[in-house]
């Protein structure tokens, strides 16, 4: 007689195939269950919280410290980052000598926040730095020779690149030939050959042993600021003692969340402490964005990632790329309000453009790949798409087909600007850099989960083949079985504000520290209705009659939406994450539905 299967390996609630085609599995194996029990008993924690910690690899001895991450315990000595001492000394020298400084940043949230961090720091010392953000369409990513030349002509004696510059050999050579120092602060992957510059701080350079490669550019910039303050104190500059670096953590948290870097180690402290700073709303630009976005309640990672970040990005995608960085440096509330409203308007325009482009991209992908099951990489391309929105298309295609995906916008001259998003376990940046090395791309780069590229139309077929062959080695295994990992089960009555508060202490959640997913077994669908064009609102009731409001975002574009409508009046298993929203002055719990399944 066969031994019974390990219950931990059986489908959670017996769900083999959900509305979204997932097999539900318990996040914890037997060792994890044992660790969760030990964390709960030894530390006196609620069972669900201990399960969340154990499911994210938190060790028994680290559990209490994990719930209270501090900068003091998690921040490394900045000097452990290669070149950080040299770079910080040069920046301190510019402050002491009152040199004209130019900041060259990227056009996304991380670039805008990094630029604003450095600008605010320099302003404290009386240095009004010029911020230059390139136009995404006409200039593309990173420093270009013409822009570097302009900054030098306008008198820059020191150029600082943030969130870019690690691979800008030609552009930085322009500054070197003019005798102008460039210092680079970045986090993108870089090869062995570095560009000509005075110093380059990038925890992902090959000779950096700091172990901080998970930081975004703003996180690295903050370490540079801390180190520069130390250099200034060593020089006897008393102004260094008057500067409060903790006040900058709201911008660091914003960038850390929006750049989707792993929320582990120092990044957790950045976000936890940064959210506290953001709730004081001392940055007029952020405060203005909170108002136009209709923020209700205390600032959370969700607000940064889904309300604030897209508005800052809207300037770089379809408007003035410099708007976001400028907004985050402002002290004038009136001017901040004007720019925030402009970004809000651009974001609405971006949403309309994205909807049209997404419909075209999905139709092309379905025509080319069908359900996508036989594909290793999804690639869509079209002339006339807005280059600033292809990254959003790639993200949606990746979610729809569960494959690494690219969207490429070709101009009238046959040159395409593309962006890609990957799935967990597949290094997209490495693949794109390999294609550059093979001469298939004009340029390209990125990191494991996202990449950008420039390609000539005549090379697109070869690029498709190259990507498919590279991805075929690993992607089929990664997507062989779609699973949804469940942290535990609870009923509607147990979904309380107190539980949400406890779960937040185990956060923040994001990349490499996923939001807890709970299953609500056999809950009846009391009411279901469509909200807007894509969302579905549901009222659930447990066996004891307790009710819970729930929402499935963008469900109408998937199999989940129709499934929920078909189950009105029936009991189903529902999986999702909990949140507490402010409604008419009080907080109420809501379930954000991820998946659902029939009760067998």
Per-residue pLDDT of 60-101, as tens digits, reads 999 999 999 999 999 999 999 999 999 999 999 999 999 999
Nearest by Cα to 118 from 160, 156, 147: 160
Q: Largest Cα–Cα distance in the chain?
A: 83
If DSSP codes are grouped into helix, strand and coil, which group holds residue 417? strand
Identify any residues that bridge with 587 across adjacent strands, giving them in sequence order. Answer: 582
Domain 7-55+487-598 top-level CATH class: mainly beta
pLDDT at 599 over 90: yes
CA-to-CA dists, residue 230 to 120, 208, 267, angstroms: 17, 21, 22
Residues in contact with 19: Cβ distance below 8 Å, sequence separation at least 6, in sequence order = 559, 560, 563, 564, 595, 596, 597
Nearest by Cα to 416 from 383, 391, 388, 451: 383
Q: Tokens for 183?
A: 């210092």
Mean pLDDT across 169-174? 96
Dist CA 478 CA 486 (whole Å): 19
Task: Give 470-474's long-range contacts (Cβ < 8 A, gap of 24+).
Answer: 470/431, 470/434, 471/376, 471/377, 471/404, 471/426, 471/431, 472/376, 474/425, 474/426
Mean pLDDT across 209-223? 97
Mean pLDDT across 301-315? 92
Q: Where in the chain is the domain with CATH 2.40.50.460?
A: 7-55+487-598
pLDDT at 2 over 50: no
Dist CA 330 CA 131 (whole Å): 13
pLDDT at 584 over 80: no
Dist CA 519 CA 231 (whole Å): 52
Dist CA 367 CA 203 (whole Å): 42
Mean pLDDT across 189-215? 94
Dist CA 327 CA 109 (whole Å): 12
Eight-class DSSP state of 67: T
Nearest by Cα to 186 from 223, 220, 226: 220
Q: What does DSSP say about strands 158-162 and 181-185: parallel, antiparallel, or unpaired?
A: parallel
pLDDT of residue 393: 95
pLDDT of residue 5: 40
Q: Where in the chain is the domain with CATH 3.10.310.30?
A: 370-478
Please give the CATH topology (third level) of the domain spanning 73-344. inorganic pyrophosphatase (n-terminal core) (3.90.1640)
Residues in contact with 334: Cβ distance below 8 Å, sequence separation at least 6, in sequence order = none
As a dihedral over the C-alpha atoms of residue 71, residue 75, residue 79, residue 80, rounded to 10 degrees, the angle is 180
Task: Sort 465 into a burial class: Cβ within 10 Å, 0-12 / 13-18 / 19+.
Answer: exposed
Under the banding of pLDDT at 50, 70 and 90, the label for residue 429 is very high
If DSSP codes are grouped into helix, strand and coil, which group holds residue 290? helix
Averaged pLDDT of the chain:
93
Domain 370-478 top-level CATH class: alpha beta
Residues in contact with 322: Cβ distance below 8 Å, sequence separation at least 6, in sequence order = 131, 132, 133, 315
pLDDT of residue 136: 81
* Burial readout 70-109 (b: 16 or more C-beta within 10 A, e: otherwise): ebeeebeebeebbbbbebbbbbbbbbeeebbbbbbbbbbb
If DSSP codes are grouped into helix, strand and coil, which group holds residue 142? coil
Q: Where in the chain is the domain with CATH 3.90.1640.30?
A: 73-344
275 and 300 in contact (C-beta within 8 Å)?
yes
6 and 26 in contact (C-beta within 8 Å)?
no
Q: Tokens for 462?
A: 């070869």
Dist CA 268 CA 577 (whole Å): 20
Eight-class DSSP state of 297: S
pLDDT of residue 4: 37
Eight-class DSSP state of 101: E
pLDDT at 585 over 80: no
């Amino acid at each position: 007689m066969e031994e019974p299967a390990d219950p931990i390996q059986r489908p959670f609630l017996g769900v083999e195939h959900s509305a979204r085609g997932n097999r539900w599995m318990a996040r914890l194996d037997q060792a994890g269950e044992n660790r969760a029990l030990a964390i709960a008993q030894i530390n006196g924690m609620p069972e669900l919280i201990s399960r969340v910690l154990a499911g994210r690899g938190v060790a028994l001895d680290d559990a209490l410290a994990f719930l209270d991450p501090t900068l003091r315990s998690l921040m490394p000595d900045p000097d452990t980052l290669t070149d950080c001492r040299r770079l910080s000394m040069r920046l301190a020298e510019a402050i002491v000598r009152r040199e004209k400084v130019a900041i060259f940043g990227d056009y996304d949230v991380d670039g805008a926040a990094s630029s604003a961090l450095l600008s605010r720091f320099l302003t404290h010392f009386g240095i009004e730095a010029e911020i230059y953000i390139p136009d995404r369409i006409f200039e593309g990513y990173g420093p270009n020779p013409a822009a570097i030349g302009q900054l030098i002509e306008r008198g820059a004696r020191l150029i600082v690149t943030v969130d870019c510059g690690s691979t800008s050999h030609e552009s930085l050579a322009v500054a070197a030939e003019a005798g102008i120092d460039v210092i680079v602060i970045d986090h993108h992957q870089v090869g062995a050959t570095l560009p000509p510059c005075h110093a380059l701080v990038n925890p992902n350079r090959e000779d950096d042993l700091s172990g901080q490669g998970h930081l975004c550019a703003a996180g690295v910039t903050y370490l540079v600021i801390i180190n520069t303050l130390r250099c200034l104190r060593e020089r006897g500059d008393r102004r260094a003692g008057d500067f409060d670096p903790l006040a900058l953590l709201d911008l660091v948290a914003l960038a850390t969340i929006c750049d989707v870097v792993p929320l582990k180690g120092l990044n957790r402290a950045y976000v936890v402490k940064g959210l506290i700073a953001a709730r004081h709303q001392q940055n007029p630009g952020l405060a203005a964005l909170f108002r136009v976005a209709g923020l209700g309640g205390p600032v959370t990672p969700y607000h940064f990632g889904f309300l604030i970040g897209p508005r800052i990005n809207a300037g770089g995608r379809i408007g003035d790329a410099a708007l976001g960085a400028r907004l985050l440096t402002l002290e004038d509330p009136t001017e901040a309000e004007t720019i925030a409203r402009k970004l809000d308007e651009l974001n609405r325009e971006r949403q309309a453009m994205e909807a049209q482009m997404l419909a075209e991209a999905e139709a092309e992908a379905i025509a080319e790949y069908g359900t996508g099951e036989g594909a290793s990489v999804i690639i869509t391309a079209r002339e006339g798409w807005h280059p600033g929105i292809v990254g959003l298309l790639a993200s949606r295609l990746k979610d729809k087909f569960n494959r690494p995906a690219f969207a490429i916008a070709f101009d009238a001259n046959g040159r395409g600007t593309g962006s890609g998003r990957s799935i967990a376990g597949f290094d997209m940046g490495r693949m794109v850099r390999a294609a550059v090395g093979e001469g298939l791309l004009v340029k390209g780069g990125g990191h494991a989960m996202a990449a950008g590229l420039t390609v000539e139309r005549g090379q697109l077929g070869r690029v498709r083949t190259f990507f498919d062959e590279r991805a075929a080695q690993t992607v089929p295994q990664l997507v062989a079985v779609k699973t949804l990992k469940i942290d535990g089960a609870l009923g509607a009555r147990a979904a309380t504000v107190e539980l949400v508060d406890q779960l937040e202490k185990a956060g923040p959640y994001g990349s490499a520290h996923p939001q807890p997913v709970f299953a609500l077994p056999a809950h009846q669908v009391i009411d279901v209705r469509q909200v807007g064009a894509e969302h579905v609102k549901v009222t659930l009731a447990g066996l004891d009659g307790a009710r819970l409001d729930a929402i499935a975002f963008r469900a109408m574009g998937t199999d989940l939406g129709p499934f929920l409508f078909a189950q009105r009046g029936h009991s189903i298993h529902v999986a999702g994450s909990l949140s507490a929203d402010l409604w008419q002055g009080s907080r109420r719990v809501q379930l954000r539905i991820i998946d659902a399944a029939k009760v067998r």
